[in-house]
Amino acid sequence: MSDQIIPLPATAEAAAPVPVTNPNTRKVFIKTYGCQMNVYDSVRMGDALASEGYVTTEAMEEADLVLLNTCHIREKAAEKVYSALGRLREMKKERAANGREMMIGVAGCVAQAEGEEILRRAPAVDVVIGPQTYHRLPQALQRARRGERVIETDYAVEDKFEHLPKTEKAVIRSRGVTSFLTVQEGCDKFCTFCVVPYTRGSEVSRPLAQILEEAQRLVDAGVREITLLGQNVNAWHGEGPKGDAWGLGDLLYRLSEIPGLARLRYTTSHPRDMDDRLIEAHRDLRTLMPYLHLPVQAGSDRVLKAMNRRHTAEEYVRLIERIRSVRPDIALSGDFIVGFPGETEAEFEDTLRLVERVRYAQAFSFKYSTRPGTPGAELGSQVAEEVKAERLERLQALLLKQQQEFAEGCVGKVIDILLEKPGRNAGQLIGRSPWLQSVNVDAKSSQIGDIISVRIIGTGPNSLFAERIER
């Protein structure tokens, strides 16, 4: 997971089906930090608020409710939230002086981890709500309006997805032709650097019927590509129609049968849960895109053991070889942490060697940062910041070189792309390649949602360029 801030498009930020026309309508601004799961959660919170009469605004200062949907995966994540809350406190005071309400809520993983501390340090906050209880957000806001400062960070007994409102087709359609769909939450792996088991809880899989219903609703509204989400998505398991045990591979086979669903993806995976059935799905399903995000984190077996990854570097490489043997065109993405406590220069070079062996089309890499409450935070032999920075620079240079080589290797290929949004120039549309790259193409006779054949003719810093062809 990355520590980027992901602003949602206006139509997704609060799931408003219509533009704001009534000046008395309550407006909500949702700022989303972190991973795709948080993006999905923000959209679902927006759905819950839309049923209460809220509509979206892109201007924070206009909002009657500001929600910070937070990520706790990187160091100082909480301090970033408190800094934002300080600015919001002043904005709230200014609105109050003009007789206008501004409620402030903190959601997500920082809310789960910090809880009462947020209410203590940030008096302007009205509601603190964790990722397992955001279906209770409308009720929490009602309590806050009665003067209560509300905290909802328990692990809900009830299924939050059953309590969330069904999203209207018009709202889904306004968000575009691709969609996230959460199928699994939480993690039981307890990697020593990771806070997720403590903020998201243990692994929980959504029931098959619930997933199929949401997927069908998305497709009926015009979605053509679905990305299945989970903190450890390939740990998904459920009961099949005949009472048999199903894994993610079985789920992908079933989803591929939905008419109109053209593309499937999933993220994020753990190497320990890449079973035979899932690998077979990559071999058999043309709807399953040839792109796999499979974090390894490090190339040294000693470091991997200290991280509690429960696999070796060689086991990871052999797994990649098995996957490539059934899907040779698959593009690999990964996560890397440099400077884990005690990492030597030789162990860091093991990571570089693993990267050279695997060859990545895309990757995310970070300096190790301590997360309070995780075992890694208690380890000695912390690596100096300047050493971590220097290693990260070398690793990222290698990963960028591989990414550029992968992109250049696409030039001349004829591929299908899913058109997702308008480009900058007249008649230009932007599509997505099977390998998750943005592709710019002149497609005047096409429309968003079409899948068209193109020939890649060039590369840019973050995208490809193509010409349309008929085949």
User: Residues within the annotated binding site?
Assistant: 35, 71, 109, 187, 191, 194
The values of phi and psi at residue 107, to 5°, are -120, 175
> How far is it, in rounded angstroms, from Cα 308 to Cα 47?
38
What is the CA 423 to chain-centroid distance, rounded?
24
Residues of the binding site for [4Fe-4S] cluster: 35, 71, 109, 187, 191, 194
In whole angstroms, what is the distance from residue 387 CA to residue 393 CA? 10
Cβ pair 211, 261 in contact under 8 A: no
Q: Strand ranges (DSSP E) for 176-236? A: 178-182, 184-185, 204-205, 225-229
Q: Which conformational region is residue 359 in: left (phi greater than 0), alpha (psi within -120 to 50 degrees), or beta?
A: left
- What distance in Å separates the CA atoms of residue 70 and residue 309, rounded to the nearest whole number? 25
Q: What does 273-295 look like in DSSP terms, one character per residue?
A: G--HHHHHHHHH-TTB-SEEE--
169: left (phi over 0), alpha (psi -120 to 50) or beta: alpha
Contact 106, 127 (CB under 8 A): yes
Neighbouring residues of 84: CB distance < 8 A, sequence distance ≥ 6: 31, 68
DSSP lists the bridge partners of residue 442 as: 428
387 near 206, Cβ under 8 Å? no
Give me the residues paired with residue 229 across strands: 182, 267
Yes or no: say if 361 and 435 are a contact pair by the CB < 8 Å rule.
yes
> Which tokens sit at 153?
């960070």
Residue found under tokens 């932007």: 430
CA distance 22 to 33: 30
Dihedral of CA 194/200/203/206: which sign? negative
CA distances from 229 to 113, 242, 321, 353, 411 (A): 22, 25, 24, 30, 30
